Amino acid sequence: EVLLVDSGGGLVQPGGSLRLSCAASGFTFSSKWMTWVRQAPGKGLEWVANIKEDGREKYYADSVKGRFTISRDNAKNSLYLHMNSLRTEDTALYYCARPVEGYWGQGTLVTVSS
């Protein structure tokens, strides 16, 4: 059974940092591009970032470029999202995903507020 378990969300002040994690199992994680997607409360889906199998190619949405870093540890079957300089507009449910195969985490909620 494929599982993506998202964790690391919480309440953080504007300007703060947070690291999200995604634990993958049930498929060959090290051979798959992976993705982070977010959804602000009551809003639509927003693509955040992609990372290649070996971590050497990464792409970011303009809204997070320079502030967020996607990374992975294939030995631990884990995906990460390092978020710095957080803004109130980053408040959202963050999903780890492999959309082409229909793999989605349950999401982890990030709230940026003073």
Binding site for other proteins (CB under 8 A): 35, 37, 44-47, 50, 59-62, 95, 97, 99-102, 104-107
Distance of closest approach, residue 107 Cβ to other proteins, in angstroms = 6
Give me the least distance between CB of 27 and other proteins, in Å please.
14
* Residue-wise burial string across 2-27, b where 16 or more C-beta atoms lie within 10 A, e elsewhere: eebebebbeebeeeeebebbbbbeeb
Comparing CA positions, the residue from 32, 36, 8, 53 lying closest to residue 104 is 36
**Residue 85 DSSP class:** S
Question: Taking the complex as a whole, how short is the minimal distance between the CB of residue 72 and other proteins, in angstroms?
Answer: 17
Closest to other proteins by CB, 56 or 114:
56
Of residues 46 and 53, the one with the C-beta less far from other proteins: 46
Cβ distance to other proteins smaller for residue 41 or 75 = 41
Measured distance CA(38)–CA(90) in Å, rounded: 9
Measured in whole angstroms, how far is the alpha carbon of residue 29 from the centre of its chain?
Answer: 15
Smallest gap from Cβ 111 to other proteins, in A, equals 18
Q: Which residue lies nearer to other proteins by CB, 49 or 86?
A: 49
d(CA 71, CA 99) in angstroms, rounded, equals: 18
